[in-house]
Amino acid sequence: MIQGFSACKLTVTSHTLAASLHSLSLSSLTLSPSLSRFFWRRSCSISPAAASHLRFQSPEMAANDRKTPKLPVKGKRNILITSALPYVNNVPHLGNIIGCVLSADVYARYCRLRGYNAIYICGTDEYGTATETKAMEENCSPKEICDKYHAIHKDIYEWFDISFDEFGRTSAPQQTEVCQAIFKRLLDNKWLSENTMQQLYCDTCKRFLADRLVEGICPTPGCEYDSARGDQCEKCGKLLNPTELKTPRCKVCQNTPRIRDTDHLFLELPLLREKLEKYIEEVKGSWSSNAKQTTASWLREGLKPRCITRDLKWGVPVPHEKYSDKVFYVWFDAPIGYVSITACYTTEWEKWWKNPENVELYQFMGKDNVPFHTVMFPSTLLGTGENWTLMKTISVTEYLNYEAGKFSKSKGIGVFGNDAKDTNIPVEVWRYYLLTNRPEVSDTLFTWPDLQAKLNSELLNNLGNFINRVLSFIAKPEGQGYDSAIPALADGLSSESHDPTKKLAERISAYVDQYIEEMEKVRLKQGLKIAMAISTEGNGYLQECEFWRLYKENKPLCSLVMKTAVGVVYILACLLEPFMPSLTQEVFKQLNLSTELHLSLCDEKGDVNKAKIPWEILNAGHKIGKPQPLFKELKDEDVEFYRKKFAGSQADRILRAEAEAGKVAEELKKTKISDGGKKKSSSKSSNDGKNKAAPEPEITISRLDIRVGLIKKAQKHPDADSLYVEEIDVGEEQPRTVVSGLVKYIPLEEMQNRKVCVLCNLKPATMRGIKSQAMVLAASNSDHTKVELVEPPSSAKVGERVTFPGFEGNPDELLNPKKKVWETLQVDLQSNGELVACYKDVPLTTSAGVCKVSSIQNGSIR
Ligand SMILES: [Zn+2]
Ligand SMILES: [Zn+2]
């Protein structure tokens, strides 16, 4: 939803008040920019799936009534849980995952464990400018973008064992229905006003331009950066309104847009203030302090009318004659996604959402989303005059930072959801580490050595060790252990007669009470800490009792100790289930218990009281399963490996991978046939049977379309530290946009206004959001520490073709990437001892002479 905000900085010129409302203050139309620019996107984004809604659940949930959706039950605690909807066009990183989706999952699992009637709703937020822009860049429809990323999100959350009851998408028809119904009520109740604003319009593209689709000269004196974006100048950092840019141009077609009036609808927040304050007064007892503070400061600064419509196509259409060509602004429609996704889950969704007497709404989000959930969304619902279930408890996280810096989606820094599953570190370890590090009151830091320390000392040496010691001893054959059967207590022997057992039971029971107290308040990190303290108690108990000695010296007492200890194992597995469901599955398997029947922490069933008598939890004679170690040590070299692997941005990682691939190609070349590009294709005879399509032409250097180009402008890629974006004249009507990974090697000034050799018939590729329409040729030394541009003579004509004497023929229109033409030829492109750029021994030649590099001899050219 976020993206919309920046786009909302419209200038209001006049206001016509539709609904008899008072006048607006103009400056008020914008959210505080720092907030607005990152709304949702930063803290979470989920993408829409191909199916209008998907469900994924842990296996044990799935076994439960999948077909019959849960509805509120009178007399029970009915808990509706939501996680902020991740924005669809990104891969979530670990900071996003802990920020809402995982945190809400822990709480949802806890509720189920306690026997509450809880559902967990989430989905991808799909509408808005960001998706539209991305679709334009990738040359596909917004829906295709959403389908693609929804699937990515879905996979990642499945891997992380997130137990959604419904994981939907805001592009579902239910969204349109619910959103339009809410709008109509707001309109009828006269909470909406109309305003004329001014926005840039491109006559060529026939559309109003979102902020990020406008570029121009920065108005800041002394900056005057000529590619400032409509929402912000990248050079001086100033937040901008697109109408402030000098000589603005449309990013799509480069034409000059004009200022045009456009009417929009506004939600009259100031008029709803009284209702809102009443709600906040009644409810905020259970809000976290960061939520209370943010909300208070919003109210203190005064509420402003907020624009709820946009000149876009990809959104929920506004059901109003005058506004039929507009859609709702994402900030307005995205929270409604919680409702519409519930409507996908059950047609009786109103039993959850319009039932405040019987339903408690818990919402999880990152700190940047607070005002949307404490001010905007409740105001919207209150304005309908209907009896909505409003948020009771809000759980807000700060940020998780990565090693030295911030996780950044746009910069690709950090570990992403899809990276985590490519490590050998199991999901329960990831969940544990993220949750012990949950940024509840302040930002926290992800580091690999910290993950290693927590895994090795807390999970392996404490928890894993305790459980494994108990189960392995019970599993030992008669004479050394109990032959896998839970021992019976000797007659007359009670815990009363054994002080360590009595004390252990008291402490554990106290811990369980504390655990519940913390979890009820959604202090998840604290809950986890308490559960782990029980494991420490267990280890201390085993040491104190010296069960291995008791087995020989006092067998009845040893039976009491082991029966008690295995009861503690069971308690631990239950308490840890919300945090590490896969671990609990495994421990239950080793205990030979079914999670469906035995996983529970309900008051009604007396589960909590069992903690006072752990020796009575498992029945004597019950046979346990096969004990196995639960965790594996993470070694120093593994840590070093991961640290390197995930260093830098994703773009850097791609370049590193490419460099690796280059080395491999280098190796391959030695064994590859390549003779002047002559006969390489196999003779027809081997292609037995019917001849298929035309034979693939032989791979010869003349198929490459290399031209002399002039870099008219080069700048840093806005979203990738290692990339430049250049505008290069290659003799065509329009310059081409080219993205090159040269930042580390060539200073920006040296890129400007320079003649280069450009490969023009590669298939265009999008690099971090910008489509690269050609490739600049450069040479690198063997260890890739030095890179230089291949330069044509200064008098070569811009646009002329670079040829290879002896290899005549026309270039392909576009090289078929599947045939690896470029890849095959590239291995023979090198600078020679005289610094001349060559294919084998044939120089790259122009009408003005050969092309050269400045200092790298025998460098590989690509
Ligand atoms: Zn500037
Ligand atoms: Zn345009």
Q: Which domains does the chain have, with CATH numbers?
A: 4-186+289-402 (3.40.50.620), 210-256 (no CATH), 450-616 (1.10.730.10), 698-861 (2.40.50.140)
Q: How far is the CA of 232 from the centre of ligand 1 (A)?
A: 8
Q: Which ligand is nearest to the CA of 224?
A: 1
CA of 715 to the centre of ligand 1 (A): 14
Q: How high is the pLDDT of residue 493?
A: 80
> Which residues of the chain fall short of a pLDDT of 70?
1-67, 285, 404-413, 648-696
Nearest ligand, measured from the Cα of 235: 1
pLDDT score of 216: 92
Under 8 Å between Cβ of 87 and 44: yes
Two structure tokens written together for 204: 């060529």
Helix, strand, or coil (residue 650): helix
* Neighbour order of strands in the sheet with 391-397: 53-54, 166-169, 117-124, 78-83, 359-366, 391-397
Q: Residue 245: nearest ligand to its CA?
A: 1
Ligand 2 centroid to Cα of residue 216, in Å, is 13
Pick the ligand that lies closest to the CA of residue 227.
1
| 770 CA → ligand 2 middle, Å | 17
| Confidence at residue 679, expressed as pLDDT on a 0 to 100 scale | 37
Q: Helix, strand, or coil here: 831?
A: strand
Q: Which ligand number lies closest to the CA of residue 222?
A: 1
Q: How far apart are CA 248 and CA 67, in angstroms?
A: 55
6 alpha carbon to ligand 2 midpoint, in Å?
Answer: 19
Decide: 380 and 125 in contact? Cβ < 8 Å: no
pLDDT at residue 709, rounded to an integer? 94
> For residue 466, what are the CA distances in angstroms to 565, 566, 675?
9, 10, 67
Ligand nearest to the CA of 234: 1
**Residue 353 · residue 342 · CB < 8 Å:** yes
Can you point out the beta strands (E) in 733-774? 736-740, 755-759, 765-767, 770-772
| DSSP secondary structure letter of residue 446 | E
Taking the centre of ligand 2 as the mean of its atom positions, its distance from the CA of residue 247, in whole angstroms, is 14
Give me ligand 2 centre to Cα 697, in Å.
Answer: 40
Cα 214 to ligand 2 centroid, rounded to whole Å:
9
Report the 10 Å Cβ neighbour count for 121.
Answer: 27
Closest-approaching ligand to the CA atom of 203: 2
Q: Give residue 231 CA to ligand 1 midpoint distance, Å.
A: 11
Ligand nearest to the CA of 252: 2
- Of the candidates 487, 476, 484, 482, the residue with the CA atom closest to the CA atom of residue 624: 484
Q: What phi and psi, each to the nearest 5 degrees, are found at residue 664?
A: -60, -45
741 in Cβ contact with 655 (< 8 Å): yes
Contacts of 287 (CB under 8 A, 6+ apart): 295, 374, 393, 394
Q: Kindly give the distance from the C-alpha atom of residue 200 to the centroid of ligand 2, in angstroms, as a whole number.
A: 10
Q: Are 149 and 124 in contact (CB under 8 A)?
A: yes
The per-type count for the chain, helices as H runs and strands as E runs, is 30, 34
Residue 230 burial class via C-beta count within 10 angstroms: exposed 0-12, middle 13-18, buried 19 and up: buried
CA of 211 to the centre of ligand 2 (A): 13
Would you give the end-to-end CA distance of the chain in angstroms?
40
| Ligand nearest to the backbone CA of 136 | 2
C-beta separation of 519 from 116 below 8 A: no
Note the ligand closest to the C-alpha atom of 256: 2
User: Would you give the distance in Å from CA 225 to the centre of its chain?
Assistant: 32
Cα 241 to averaged position of ligand 1 atoms, centre (Å): 12
Cα of 209 vs centre of ligand 2, distance in Å, is: 8
Find the 38 Cα to ligand 1 centroid distance in Å: 20
Q: Ligand 1 centroid vs 49 CA: distance in angstroms?
A: 39
Reading the block at residue 286, the tokens are 């259970």
Query: What is residue 652's predicted lDDT score, i.e. its pLDDT?
Result: 62
Q: How far is the CA of 438 from the centre of ligand 2 (A)?
A: 44
Surrounding residues of ion ligand 2, Cβ less than 5 A: 202, 204-205, 250, 252-253
User: For residue 139, what pLDDT is reported?
Assistant: 87
The CA 254 to ligand 2 mean position distance, Å, reads: 6
DSSP state of 481: B
Tell me, in angstroms, the distance from the centre of ligand 1 to residue 215's CA: 12
Output the CA 237–ligand 1 centroid distance in Å. 6
* Other residues' Cβ atoms within 10 Å of the Cβ of residue 743: 18
pLDDT at position 54: 33
Going from the Cα of 245 to the center of ligand 1, the distance in angstroms, rounded, reads: 10
**Rounded Cα–Cα distance for residues 303 and 322 (Å):** 26
Q: Cα(238) to centroid of ligand 1, in Å?
A: 6
Backbone angles phi, psi at 328, to 5 degrees: -75, 145
pLDDT in tens, 235-284: 887 878 888 899 999 988 899 999 999 999 999 999 999 999 999 999 87
